[in-house]
Amino acid sequence: MTPPLYIALRFLTHRKRALLLSLSGVVFGVAFFICMQAQTQGFAKYFIDSTLGSNGALVIRSRFEPRQVGSIVPSKTSKENVAHRQYFEGITDANEIMRVSRQFSNVVACSPVLRGTLSARAGFENATVDLYGIDPALHLQTTDLAHQITDGSLYDFRNKPNSVIVGSRLAGLLNLEVGDTMQLLSPGGQYRRFAVAAIARSGVGAIDSTRVYSHARVAQTLLHTPYATSMIIYKLRDPDRAPALARHFEDLFQHDAASWQEREESTLHLFLTLRLSAAITVSLVILLAGFGIFNVLTMTVLSKMKEIAILRSMGYRRRDISAIFLWQGGLIAAAGSLIGCAVGALLSWSVSKIPIHLRGLLSTDYFVVAWDWRHYFWATMLAIVAVFIASYVPARRAAELAPVVTLRGSSV
């Protein structure tokens, strides 16, 4: 142990109450930062996983052709030229597009979907629903539908063409249970009866309150469309690379392609804002702890002036004196961060066990937390920076004390 470190420990332990107050400020600041970031990122991750599991990481929709503007025809199919496109509803060559798509290493699976908006009726209740006509085998490979079933059986849905899977919140709105009958109104004005084979909960309110799954051929007959596919959804190995793949697919297939980042842009910005707001708010706790450490070290300098003068007369240099007080701040930061990380992990675990009946943008029965090492890293870095700034001024003042004047009893 170096002499400055040993002296720093002696100075710290001399004022135990001040040490505990300074240490507790860092501990609770780090712990609250970790816990708040775990919660905000947890809900964001839960939303992302849920929407990817239901809507895919990438979607291909309508075919387009560049429009001629004057004598210039846009040569690129980037988002900048969207205004110069002419769109055609439906995908007529879905099988060929999927065959080519599967050759890309980032593509895990893809599924054709026929989507339409219909009116639904069950008993005396009515609702507007988002119908998804699917190929059950392909859709189960591409999405998390199999894990979203809360009641009923996928086996019944697969083997009964006139059956549907209903979102959990929609089922509650229409008072539906497995085995009940619901009616869907076709564009021709006729109701067609379907048996509810299963009820699914994705965790995203907008999906669970409107989504109805049926077989693709049944949906085509019900919607009266000349095409069997209105979009293709993709499951990717690396969803973060979806924007680049979407641009490539647009150039390759001449169909509109949208990544999940583009589709959920507004919601992602909301979660990012909440994370930043929580980080700024909790950082004030660490900042206040820094002020406390500043006061403690300043009082230590004032109370240890003669000791500092004696050390200077013994041959300690200015930087050695500064090191003593920087060591004090460093010890508080290290101990506070270590204990704070442990307390933050415990708080995050405790919060994840708190029951909550959330049925809005997200649907969950417990607080959702994310376990990410970066929360602990940034909390520790924030504590170190705050404590260093708080320690620097007292350390510099201690180094500038004149030993001869101090020993004679003069104040600085």
Specify the pLDDT at position 4.
66
> Which two tokens mark 186?
């076709």
Q: What mean pLDDT do residues 163-168 have? A: 93
Specify the pLDDT at position 278.
80
Q: Of the candidates 112, 118, 90, which has an alpha carbon nearest to the alpha carbon of residue 194?
A: 118
Task: State the average pLDDT for the chain.
Answer: 82
Residue that wins the pLDDT comparison between 170 and 3: 170
Specify the pLDDT at position 235.
94
Question: Could you tell me the pLDDT band of residue 48, with boundaries at 50, 70 and 90?
Answer: confident
The answer, yes or no, to whether residue 408 has pLDDT greater than 70, is: no
**Helix/strand/coil for 246:** helix
Q: Are strands 107-122 and 231-236 parallel, antiparallel or unpaired?
A: antiparallel
Q: What mean pLDDT do residues 110-138 have? A: 91
Specify the pLDDT at position 405.
52
The answer to whether residues 22 and 296 touch, using CB atoms and an 8 Å cutoff, is yes
Cβ within 8 Å of residue 293, ≥6 positions away: 22, 25, 26, 329, 332, 387, 390, 391
Distance CA 80, CA 127 (A): 38
Question: Could you tell me the pLDDT band of residue 412, with boundaries at 50, 70 and 90?
Answer: very low
Q: What mean pLDDT do residues 15-24 have? A: 72
| Maximum mean pLDDT: which of 66-70, 71-75, 290-294 | 290-294
Specify the pLDDT at position 388.
83
Specify the pLDDT at position 239.
93
The answer, yes or no, to whether residue 410 has pLDDT greater than 50, is: no
Cβ within 8 Å of residue 233, ≥6 positions away: 55, 56, 58, 59, 110, 111, 113, 142, 143
Q: What mean pLDDT do residues 381-408 have? A: 71
Block residue for tokens 């069997």: 228
The answer, yes or no, to whether residue 231 has pLDDT greater than 70, is: yes
Q: What mean pLDDT do residues 135-142 have? A: 93
Burial class (CB in 10 A: 0-12, 13-18, 19+), 166: buried
The answer, yes or no, to whether residue 164 has pLDDT greater than 70, is: yes
Residue that wins the pLDDT comparison between 361 and 165: 165
The answer, yes or no, to whether residue 381 has pLDDT greater than 50, is: yes
Block residue for tokens 């890309």: 104
The answer, yes or no, to whether residue 345 has pLDDT greater than 50, is: yes
Residue that wins the pLDDT comparison between 328 and 71: 328
Residue 30 C-alpha from the chain's centroid: 20
Q: Are strands 211-215 and 125-134 parallel, antiparallel or unpaired?
A: parallel
Q: Angle formed by the axes of helices 16-55 and 373-399, to 10°? A: 150
